[in-house]
Structure 1
Amino acid sequence: MNRLVLWNVDLTLVDVTIVSRAAYADAFRMVTGRPLVKLAPAMGRPDSEIVFETLAVNGVAVEDHHLPRFLDALTVSFADKHRRLAKDGRMMPGAGDALKAVSRLDGVVQSVLTGTIKGNAVHKLGAFGLDKWIDFEVGGYGEEVYPKATLLQVAQGRAKAKYGSAFTAGNTVLIGDSTRDVQAARIGGAGMIAVASGRSTAAELREAGADIVLPDLSNASEVVAAVARLTTLS
């Protein structure tokens, strides 16, 4: 294996915002005993960062035990709602065809680089049948309290340990929808395919330094060509 393609999850592959908000509200009540008044915006950030800010903006004095308890509660509340994902959420246009098409490239490993905690990422993609294209063992996730650029390097290390190939900026691609994804690719060492399917505009993604900007994933051939262009076989 000598190509590593890392996908962002939310607003790149799926949109399950309604269910995620409900899960956060339940988790907040489980941890604090109070109703959630305000949820910190995601904006491409990891769950760990969203949890800290959500506690703070709701007037909770954050202590060391809060993060692991909240993440555990979030896992439970999200699992309880997993049947709602396909009903109240949606697969982003072209996501399934794009994953399938990229999987046919020589030597490719596909995983995720996401702010979502691992269990919830599996639920989100599994609800739409997208999990079959993903090796979750080598991804980077929101419970790991690192910047996304560091998580990218962690994922490269995991892929090397599993597959025995070195993954570098020359054969790693990140596909995501936010300027934070672009920054992670630039700093962490990966080619960047940005899709303007989230809250960042195509102009913002280009300005942030994306190598290639696509309107969405609806043209699978275009996605495959972009991945091929940004990777070199070793």
Structure 2
Amino acid sequence: MAALNRLVLWNIDHTLVDVGRVTREAYAEAFQRTTGRQLVRLAPTAGRTESEIIFETLAFNDIVTTDDHLPAFMDALAEAFAARRHDLKVHGRVLPGAREALDALARTHGTVQSVLTGSIQASATLKVTELGLADRLELDVGGYENGVYSKAALLEVARTRAGEKHRNRYSESTTVYIADHPRDIQAAHIAGSPIVAVATGSATEAELRSAGAEVVLPGLANTKAVLNAVAQLTHS
């Protein structure tokens, strides 16, 4: 069998799924458990890692941070998401075309699919599992926020993990990121990989082009366009 030779990394929130309501509720609970206070203002979440969101949320709410805050908040956040497992199905949704794009790429020879996300691993896994996408993704090789890491660094982590699992080297040119925010574009370029940007989040197509995305799509509804973009950017 020929070696697997293409790695597709998916952002989760606002690219594959929308679980915004559950996220806000989980953050409110985690904040209260960590600080003993009610959450007044949640920091912007789009395109960011969990640690960025947590630190800025603490600052917005006049909490003086200590070394203990981040791990305690992350643990509380994971537990808050787990307690809302059912809510992910009720209030979350798979974005149009996401399931079809994952299925089509899964049928494409030589393609490994995983995730590159600013979410902690426990929460990320719950999102895609409860919304029925996990079986298309090799979650064990994904890049997750499990400390203070940039998405660019996490992309390198995912690339290394996938290479070790499949005994293959995934270079910058054979790895493509699919995401929805200008910060994701910046992260991909820092890591040396191309990106397919989709206007399914807060950024417009014009903003994604201006940020330097190699390919910009209005969404994932056109499966053929997604496949063509991945093939083009990974030189297949």
Determine the structure 2 residue equivalent to 1:2.
5
Q: Aligned ranges for residues 172-211 of structure 1 at < 5 Å?
A: 172-211=175-214
Q: For the Cα contact (< 8 Å) 2:198–2:218, is it kept in 1?
A: yes
1:137 & 1:184 partners in 2: Cα distance? 21
Q: Aligned ranges for residues 1-234 of structure 1 at < 5 Å?
A: 1-232=4-235
2:134 & 2:127 partners in 1: Cα distance? 9
Amino acid at match of 2:13: D
Amino acid at match of 1:143: N
Unmatched tracts of structure 1, length 5 or more: none
Q: 1:149 deviation in Å?
A: 0.9
Amino acid at match of 1:93: P
Q: 1:35 deviation in Å?
A: 0.6
Amino acid at match of 2:225: E
Q: 1:170 deviation in Å?
A: 1.2
Q: For the Cα contact (< 8 Å) 2:145–2:154, is it kept in 1?
A: no
Q: For the Cα contact (< 8 Å) 1:16–1:88, is it kept in 2?
A: yes
1:121 & 1:68 partners in 2: Cα distance? 17
Percent identity of the aligned residues?
A: 52
Amino acid at match of 1:47: E
Amino acid at match of 1:83: H
Q: For the Cα contact (< 8 Å) 2:176–2:234, is it kept in 1?
A: yes
Larger deviation: 96-105 or 140-149? 140-149
Q: 1:104 deviation in Å?
A: 1.3
* CA-to-aligned-CA distance 1:68-109 (integer Å, 9 cap, x gap): 000000000100001011211111111100000011111111
CA RMSD of aligned residues (A): 0.9
* CA-to-aligned-CA distance 1:164-209 (integer Å, 9 cap, x gap): 1111121000000000111111110212100001011101111111
Q: For the Cα contact (< 8 Å) 2:92–2:131, is it kept in 1?
A: no
TM-score norm. by structure 1 comes to: 0.97
Unmatched tracts of structure 2, length 5 or more: none
2:52 & 2:26 partners in 1: Cα distance? 16
Aligned residues: 233
Amino acid at match of 1:86: K
Q: 1:210 deviation in Å?
A: 0.7
Amino acid at match of 1:222: A
Please give the secondary structure, in 2, of the residue aligned with 1:173. Answer: strand
1:26 & 1:71 partners in 2: Cα distance? 12
Return structure 1 stretches of 4+ with deviation > 2 angstroms.
Answer: none
Amino acid at match of 1:27: A
* CA-to-aligned-CA distance 1:122-147 (integer Å, 9 cap, x gap): 11111221011111111111223211
1:103 & 1:159 partners in 2: Cα distance? 15
Please give the secondary structure, in 2, of the residue aligned with 1:224. Answer: helix
